[in-house]
Amino acid sequence: MSKSPLKIAIAGLGTVGGGTVQLLHDQAELLAARAGRTLALVGAAALVRPPELPLDGVPFFTDARELAKTCDYDVLVELIGGAGGIALEVVKTALERGRSVVTANKAMIAHHGVELALIAERTGANIGFEASVGGGIPIIKSLREGLAGNRLSKVMGILNGTCNYILTTMRDSGRDFADVLAEAQALGYAEADPTFDIDGIDTAHKLAILASLAFTMPVDLDAVSCEGIRHVSALDIRYADELGYRIKLLGVASRTEAGVETRVYPAMVPLSFPLAHVGGPFNAIVTEGDFVGRTVLEGRGAGARPTASAVVADLMDLATGRVGPTFGVPVADLTPLPAAATGSHRSAYYIRLMVKDEPGVFADIAAALRDEKVSMEQIIQRGRAPEETVPVVMTVHETEEAAMLRAVARINALASIAEPAHLIRIENL
């Protein structure tokens, strides 16, 4: 083994950083055999040196900025997190020094990926971010390399394990959102402030990255329409089961004649589609290409070991020289594509209403749908409760989103409607 070692510095020794250190230590012989050179840890930075990690003899820094500026490394692994701040600073420092970067930081890539790619091109460095989307699922490599011979029309998936865990547990237990969220926080599946997960922001970051790779366009986080899962109830999940669906938080990027659509939303997924059966904290991603057709990748979307596996995959590419432009082509060749007009999206819908059980209710609801040319498919109402509110569930055929929202606004204004309508898209895949 005549090649010099690949010298690695790691900034951030939390869950993923610690997992990466452990993997490099435990799999050292395997990695060296496959890379034809050793992968040597030459520096690490964190506020406190974790005593449980195999860091004997490794120079340690309490300031990641000093590590990035002064350590002699070939590649900096950034695992601090956050779109800006110290994480962005150390990555820019490394790239300006002509050193490559590997990161799991989806927020930073979504906000600053093009800017960082330009620095890398100027200084001759490389950026790997396999671990930023899908945990241990090799989706970045699949889009950038494995599917390079295809024009992709769609990439979609379950991209947030926290939300998938919550929705799966709600279905399995029959409990409501707030109760399951509290449990997920107690178990460590959800953060103390779960906003980024449950409001779809984390999924939006990941989807913006996938859309850039799939459609050879600049990362455009601002174009992502985002809706979370706070409004999904146990009642909705029971009705979804009855109708033959599972509710999943999806990130969907599609290239259509009207432009590129990038959307995050809870959706009813038919049981015949692979994503319907992805449970717990798992992620799954579906692509559609003109030559390959449909591909499905599934795996653990977070955690120390799966994400460390993705980090080390990028390190192995650098060790063996399997590198290329950050987003598959040089930044100058990323082509901005028009975003589809707001409201032009077409979908079938599930609508749940809480209505006062009185004469004329259905006629008023039907009139609101008719006037917007929304075609009803089926209605579910069981029993009667005069002078009380009862749930009424409807599904409607595929229609334009703008028309659906206008119809719902009219329905919500009816005196017989006790609370705003619950609207969930149906993905007829």
**Pick from 317, 246, 277: nearest CA to 74:** 317
> Could you tell me how many residues make up the chain?
429
First to last CA, the chain: 51
d(CA 20, CA 50): 13
User: Which candidate in 141, 206, 356, 373 is catalytic?
Assistant: 206
7 is catalytic: no
2 beta partners: none
CA distances 23 to 27, 67, 95, Å, are: 6, 21, 25
Q: Are 163 and 249 in contact (CB under 8 A)?
A: yes
d(CA 6, CA 128): 15
Indicate the residue type of 316: M
In degrees rounded to 5, what are phi and psi of residue 394? -130, 150
Instruction: List the catalytic residues.
Output: 206
